[in-house]
């Protein structure tokens, strides 16, 4: 695992050695793709365009946010910014990395929440746009353009997370794959006929279950807050 982490550090060095203007770009991307943007930007936008799509974005964002927290508790995962010092790599080899105001994220790092939650919640929006494009054009390029934009966005988000040293590349890849699979799997299971009260109760249930799980794991002697 150390070899994989060391390779991730070298990849981050390559990213950070790019032209100066890319720094602002990567930081803007990682800020834009913060999971809270799903609820403050993408959900209202999708709901305005189509109620069913908006509800699906909200529901999948809610479930994927919860699942990402639970997965991180059990998969753990180092953070590059901390690992490079704690592993001793920085004292053994020349490591040329820069720190940014958003670098010092705490908590387990696997899988990437930015990639997983964004990838999952945007899936119904992308499929809706694909259906819309398919209905207005016979061009394969036009039909695939929403998924092309989706793939490029997740790639950019993943690279931005590696750039600021919040995640290793393998954590980003696992987050993207988990997000796409979760979005595809949950889209057809969105409780569209439910009232807003159902979603409030569901959110509280997920919150309470995560707190109960946290307490149970701590009681079992596993320090998930390391």
DSSP 110: S
Q: Per residue in 120-138, is it b (16+ CB within 10 Å) or e — as a string?
A: bbbbbbbbbbbeebeeeee
d(CA 214, CA 127) in angstroms, rounded, equals 35
List C-alpha distances in Å: 163 to 15, 200, 202.
6, 36, 35
Catalytic residue at 136? Answer: no
Annotated catalytic residue, options 5, 85, 136, 167: 167
Distance of alpha carbon 11 from alpha carbon 121, whole angstroms: 28
Spatial distance between the Cα atoms of 65 and 184, rounded to a whole number of angstroms: 15
114, 136, 170, 214: the active-site residue: 114
Six-digit token string for 212: 């109960």
The residues that are catalytic are 114, 167
């Amino acid at each position: 695992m150390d070899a994989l982490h060391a390779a991730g550090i070298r990849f981050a060095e390559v990213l950070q050695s790019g032209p100066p203007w890319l720094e602002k770009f990567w930081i803007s991307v990682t800020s834009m793709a913060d999971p809270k943007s799903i609820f403050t930007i993408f959900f209202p936008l999708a709901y305005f365009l189509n109620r069913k799509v908006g509800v699906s974005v909200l529901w999948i964002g809610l479930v994927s946010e919860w699942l990402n927290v639970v997965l991180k508790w059990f998969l753990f995962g180092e953070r590059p910014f901390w690992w490079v010092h704690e592993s001793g790599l920085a004292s053994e080899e020349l490591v040329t990395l820069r720190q940014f105001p958003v670098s010092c994220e705490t908590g387990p790092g696997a899988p990437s929440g930015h990639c997983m939650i964004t990838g999952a919640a945007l899936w119904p929006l992308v499929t809706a746009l694909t259906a819309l494009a398919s209905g207005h054009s016979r061009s394969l390029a036009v039909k695939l353009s929403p998924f092309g934009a989706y793939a490029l966005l997740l790639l950019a988000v993943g690279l931005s997370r590696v750039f600021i040293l919040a995640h290793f590349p393998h954590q980003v890849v696992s987050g993207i794959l988990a997000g796409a699979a979760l979005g595809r799997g949950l889209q057809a299971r969105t409780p569209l006929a439910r009232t807003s009260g159902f979603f409030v109760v569901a959110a509280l249930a997920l919150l309470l279950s995560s707190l109960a799980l946290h307490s149970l794991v701590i009681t079992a002697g596993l320090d998930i807050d390391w």
